[in-house]
Structure 1
Amino acid sequence: MQALRRWLHDTAGGLPAIFWYLWSGLLINRAGSFAMLFLSLYLTDARGASEGLAGAVVGAYGAGGAGGVLLGGVLADRWGRRATLLTAHLGAAGLMAALAFSRHLAMIAVLAALLGVLHSMPSPAFVAAIVDVVPEARRSRAFNLQFWAFNLGMAVASLLAGVLAEASFVALFLVDAAATLTAAAVIGWKVPETLVGRRPAPAVRRRELAVRRRPGLHTALTDRTFLVFVGLTFVLAVLTMQTSTIMPLAMRADGLRPSAYGVVVALGGALIVLGQLFVPRLIEPYRKASVLSVSTGLMALGFGALTVADELAVYLGAAVVWTVGSMLAAPPNAQINADLAPPELRARYQSVFYLTFPAASFVAPALGGVSLQYLGDRHWLIVGGLGLVAAVGHLLAGPPRERRVAALRGRDDHSGEVVTVGR
């Protein structure tokens, strides 16, 4: 019993109450965010859209998501984290309810694009708020729990979505809207504004004023150390996207049924839900750059192994390897992203970081499909090689990142008192 208590403390102890309310809002939101998983099926089955038109509407949702990430970062730094989260959740709930009763395809396309914006807006605000309230020494476990909640919520959403879609598409959208409203209620009731203003020392103040004369996104987009990290994360995202874009095609070419693909995906989700909480203690003694190098290397080996895969057992074994890699990568990836951002631009840096995922969702299928068509199984050698290059890149980029983080911490140590924005 004592060992269990020690593990619980190491895994989830010492985190402020505000974090747990944010965590609960994220879990509720993800568990209820299932309607868009069936958007293409809804369009073709219930609204009579062609497959091409359905794909265009789903693409509009994705394009809205890319814009929403950037908008969410800017608003979270200007309005505040709480205001951005509430605006996004309340707006998304209203749009989802409207989508439930929309009949015209043009209106559905507009609503889908707007939902893409509002569904993506909370991501930088959530992470920025976590960084605001969680002490640096405990952020790794906080981000680990965030990753775990995200995957647990997605697993629940996948199970609920199938049941609701068979019963009623209208119910699917309305339950999604209700879950989003519930998450908004938790945030509105229990999460205060976490954005703070600093009164720094004169020299630091001059540097901050110089930064503020330029748009915040410009600062993030010209920060070389940060962009190297974003580029390496983009490679990791491209590897991750193989599971939902190219791997199903490869499995079909090997004569495996769609149910086999479902088993591989379910295995990855189960591993994350069952094992993610053990990750912080495992990686705590090691440098973040080393952990990211090992994790990216494992993902490279897992996907590279698909070069010789022709049976379900091989796919399952490879899935274990790349899933362990993604589990190890989640906490340090989020923490480095938080550490590299100046406090006054924290959410905008998050928004640039989160752009890697919609970008990867476009690049992975666009280039991967051509690669698989012309190279066959050698496609996986390219994927594995790309991952190994990124693994080496993390080792090389680690020391400059650490120096940059140390410099930012030194700047904050010379800052003056912290005051709440608006006072």
Structure 2
Amino acid sequence: MDVHNAFLHGDLNEEIYMDIPPGYNIHKEQIEGEKLVCKLNKSLYGLKQTSRQWFSKFSNSLTSIGFQQSKSDYSLFTKVSQKGFTTLLVYVDDIIVGGDSQDEIDSLQTYLHSKFKLKDLGPLKYFLGLEVAKSSSGINFCQRKYTLETLEDAGLLGTKTVSTPIELNHRLSHTTNEILQDPTAYRRLIGRLIYLTITRPDITYVVNVLSQFMDKPSQTHMHSAYRVLRYLKGSIGQGIFLLSRSPLHLKAYSDSDWAACPEIRRSVTSFCVFIEDSLVSWKSKKQVTVSRSSAEAEYRALATTSCEIVWLPSLLKEFNINHEQSALLFCDNQAAIHITRNPIFHRRTKHIELDCHFVREKVLAGVITPVHIASKFQLADIFTKALSSSVFQFLLSKMGILNIYVHLEGSLTK
């Protein structure tokens, strides 16, 4: 499948009206009996409706030539014709075009060029900070350049490296000691790290923790953020590797850390979803309510993971891929698995009735098959808590995370 990257400039001609700006000088006799307004010939940058008008014009242009807008992701457009399958993914005015027919891709580019000012950047190699490398084995995504820029911005290009992104048994919490006078640098750094989690699932947990202190960060929080950079320094080119040839079977790992928050005792939900051995989705988030038991926390995590499992087959269907077999959902809590199969609501689970109904419905429908797994093989554990270096590296090796620059250097040495 050929994939191209492009940049668009829009020219909107829709008639949009706004009130006369405050302070605009006009004689009173001109406004008696009527309301004068300023007519815009096109949307202006900074207006709330500008982005919406832009996307409406762009999507209407695509649907007029046979593209279908995805119901699973409104930024995705697909088209099936006699010549082949074509897909387009848009982010504001940057787009990726892919398909199995070069003629269809060329025809789409010609059409877009006639409607917009289009700049073709050629085969996909770099997109919004993501570096893409393709081979016969698969596709690798990393953010090496963005990581280097982040290290340079923080002045840590020459720092020593560490083997884990966060200290074991950390107790980070809100504190009134050593509050940063200017939190701008901390917020900017955490914002950069959040964007890095697109291809770096290994820092998802620590970024989730550090982002909870954006209101009043302390010097301790800043040191923990710098530790993440020291970890990234030792694995700059690390990213996700998607295999080109593997069975299309969804597998998910669900886990939680009961009462993990030391302040409000809420648990952490985490999951990771694979298409066979390729990692495609992951999450680490504090639960919105306090769970009264570890089984309840695990079951709430199962409900969140089930939502992701239900969504992914509908997204695959947009690519003409039918996933009809049951997805495997791995959990290391036997009590939570029993709740998915037991039709009787017990006293200790009646307050989580909605989650019970949702998960059990998907299990009975054959969409999900819960499977017990030993805790030491629970891959989602990497998103719930700080781990020792050996356990962290073991779980990371099972997730299809690859540093292609290390492999390239090794092959050149040999």
TM-score where L is the length of structure 1? 0.25
Instruction: Looking at secondary structure, tell me which structure has more strand per residue.
Output: 2
Q: Which has the larger radius of gyration?
A: 2
**Looking at both structures, which has the greater relative contact order when contacts are Cα pairs under 8 Å and sequence separation is at least 6?**
1
Instruction: Looking at secondary structure, tell me which structure has more helix per residue.
Output: 1
TM-score where L is the length of structure 2? 0.25
